Amino acid sequence: MLPGRRLKAGGTTSSDQNARTGADGAAPRPGAVAFVTTEHFTLQGARTAAITESTSRATIFIGSVSAGLVALGLIATATRIGTAFYAFGLILLSTLSFLCFVTLDRVLQSGIEELHYVERIARLRAYYFDFAPELTHYLASVPPSRRLAILGLRSGYWPAFRTTAGMIGVVTAVLTGSDAGLLATFAAGHSASPGSSPAGWWASLS
């Protein structure tokens, strides 16, 4: 400190006062600071729980679909795409389609919940910067329009397909279409010839 500018006991410099006040010159109350930090911690925990639930449901979903398709392939090889294959396929694909819709609905809800949590966390970050502007040099500070992007959420159609709900939605569409196609083929009374199936192809090679 320069000579002649020695502070009295308990005095503060102008920079210390600016660090403790917000844009309107009012210092945040200790109770408000405690509430904001607790709310931030709670929202971050709730967001983590939503992400964990979505990941767990997606893991169970992908495991069920993989096991079902392997079983369908084994039945196709054993029955040479016969009537038993169509009956088993219709039951299996219908069950997997139901599982798809249930999982998609819940994962989509979890994604929307996570979005709300991120929006609330972004507002709390704005509170930090308003009452502690000196943190701007140490924390990532962006305009309000980019607060969601800095937390990992971007707008647009393509990022939506890269989410867990988007992935499950695509798999749901494929399985539902396959179930409908198998049902239409069975109803029309057409059955694939054994020679066109993988089992018949391997048999012709041997």
- Write out pLDDT tens, residues 33-42: 788 888 888 9
Average confidence score pLDDT of the chain: 75
In the numeric block, which tokens belong to residue 5?
């500018």
Q: Note the pLDDT tens digit of each residue in 61-99.
A: 999 999 999 999 998 888 888 788 888 989 999 999 999
Range 113-117 contact pairs with CB under 8 angstroms and sequence separation of 24 or more: 113/46, 113/50, 114/47, 114/50, 114/51, 114/54, 115/148, 115/153, 117/43, 117/44, 117/46, 117/47, 117/50
Domain boundaries, the chain: 29-205
117, two tokens: 């949590």
